[in-house]
A = this chain, B = another copy of it.
Amino acid sequence: MSTSQNQQIQILKAASSKINEVDFDNVTFGSVFTDHLFECDYIQGAWQTPTIKPYAPFLLDPSARVFHYGQAVFEGMKAYKDTNDSIWLFRPDENYKRFNKSAVRMAMPEVPETIFMEGLNELLKLDQAWIKKGLGNSLYIRPFMIATGSGVMASPSDNYKFMILLSPAKAYYSGEVKVLIAEHYSRAANGGIGAAKAAGNYAAQFYPTSLANQAGFQQVIWTDDATHTMLEEAGTMNVFFRINDTLFTAPTSERILDGITRKSLIEIAQKEGIAVSVRPVLVSELVAAAKDGSLKEIFGAGTAAVVNPIAGFSYQEVYYELPKTENSYASLLKEKLTNIQNKLAEDSFGWTVKV
C-alpha cells in the first residue's frame, strides 16, 4: 500500500461520450462499457501510477502469463443511483476482501485498498451519467487483475495489470430457468481454487453447461466432485432450497464461493423470521422433497441476477417441476434486497456505502 497511499490518480478524459449511442432499456448484460476505465500496473513489486483513461484496447505481449497459465482474478459488484442522484455501492468492502483473497490463492499481489476504492470511486464519479435511477437499474462493476509478465515459464508473473470496467445493467428476466444436477462433470476440487473468483473456474464450466443447454437446461448445479451427492453452487450463483418453510444452502468452503448476495439473503431471511439452515444439502434430500411435495422453491443468488428463481431440476434423467408458490421466498428476498440496494428502503444492515 505504501507506494500508492499519496499517489494522485492520473485522469485522461475521453474526447466525447458514447452514452447517447446506448439503449439503456435493452442493454445485454456485460456487453456495453462506459467511456472510461481505471488501470493500475504492478511492475516488479511496485504499484505504478493509478490512471483513469478512455476505454480502449491495450497492447499485450503474446507470451503474457495470463494467456498461457490463466493467472487472472475478478470481482462483480454494482453501483446504484438514488432519487437524489447520489451514487451507492453495496458492501464494497466484501468484494475488496474477496478480490485479494482470490489474488493470494492465484499467487498474485494484493491490490492496496486505496487503489481499489479510490480508483473505483473516481471512476464512478466521472462516468456517473451511466448510472440510471430506479429499481432494476444499476451499473455493473468489473474489477479484475491479469498477469502481464512475458515468458512462457510456468511460474507466477512479475508484472500485473489491475483494471476496473463499468457496464450498465438492467434487471433481467432470464426466462424460465431449468437446471441440471451435475452427475459427472465438476466445478472444483478439494484443495483447489473453487472459492476464488479465478478466471479459469469459469471457462471450465462452459463445456458441461453447453451440454446441459443442448438438453434443454439453462444452468448446472454442481455437486461435490468425489461423490456427486452434495449440492454445491451454480457456477455464477450460490443456490438456496426451500423445503417446507425452511431455507437450506450449502456452507461455503474451499470449493464454494463465499457469495455476498448469498450471505445478505441469509441475513434478510433471518430478519424476516424465515428459518435458514446452512448445512450440506444432499441430492437425495432434494429428490425426496420434490417427490413428497415438501420442496417449494429453488433459487440462485448472485450479483448479476440478484435472485434467480428456478422452475425445476433434472437428476438421473428425471425432471422435477417445482410448484408455483404463493408467498415465494425468492420474490420476498429479492424485493427486500433490491430495495436496500436501490435506496428505496431503509438499510438497517449498514450495507450501502455512498460514493
Q: Which residues of A contact B (CB under 8 A)?
A: 28-31, 33, 37, 55-63, 65-72, 74, 104-107, 140, 142, 144, 146-147, 150-156, 163, 165, 167, 182, 184-193, 198-208, 210, 225-228, 235-236
Contacts and interface: CB of A to CB of B under 8 A. Distances in A.
A185 B146 CA distance: 23
B203 A71 contact: yes
Contacts of A188: 189, 192
Given A30-B152, A57-B59, A68-B202, 11 more contacts: A30-B151, A57-B62, A67-B199, A68-B142, A70-B72, A70-B203, A107-B203, A186-B191, A190-B225, A191-B228, A200-B204
B189 A192 contact: yes
A66 B67 contact: yes
30 contacts: A28-B151, A37-B62, A59-B59, A60-B60, A63-B142, A65-B203, A68-B74, A69-B202, A70-B199, A70-B204, A107-B203, A140-B152, A152-B165, A154-B202, A154-B235, A154-B236, A185-B192, A186-B190, A186-B191, A186-B192, A189-B192, A189-B225, A191-B225, A191-B228, A192-B204, A198-B200, A199-B200, A200-B200, A200-B204, A225-B225
A192 B225 CA distance: 8
Contacts of A71: 203, 206
A163 B188 CA distance: 29
Q: How many copies of this chain sit in the oligomeric assembly? A: 2
Contacts of A62: 33, 37, 55-58, 163, 165
Given A190-B226, A191-B186, A225-B226, A153 B28 contact: yes
A139 to B, nearest CB: 13
A204 B210 contact: no
A68 B72 contact: yes
B200 A63 contact: no
Contacts of A182: 191
Contacts of A191: 182, 184-186, 208, 225, 228
A33 B227 CA distance: 45
Nearest to A222: B191
A318 to B, nearest CB: 20
A189 to B, nearest CB: 4
A192 to B, nearest CB: 5
B60 A199 contact: no
Contacts of A59: 57-59
A10 B85 CA distance: 54
B189 A107 contact: no
Contacts of A207: 104-107
Given A165-B63, A186-B192, A191-B225, A203 B151 contact: no
A146 B69 CA distance: 11
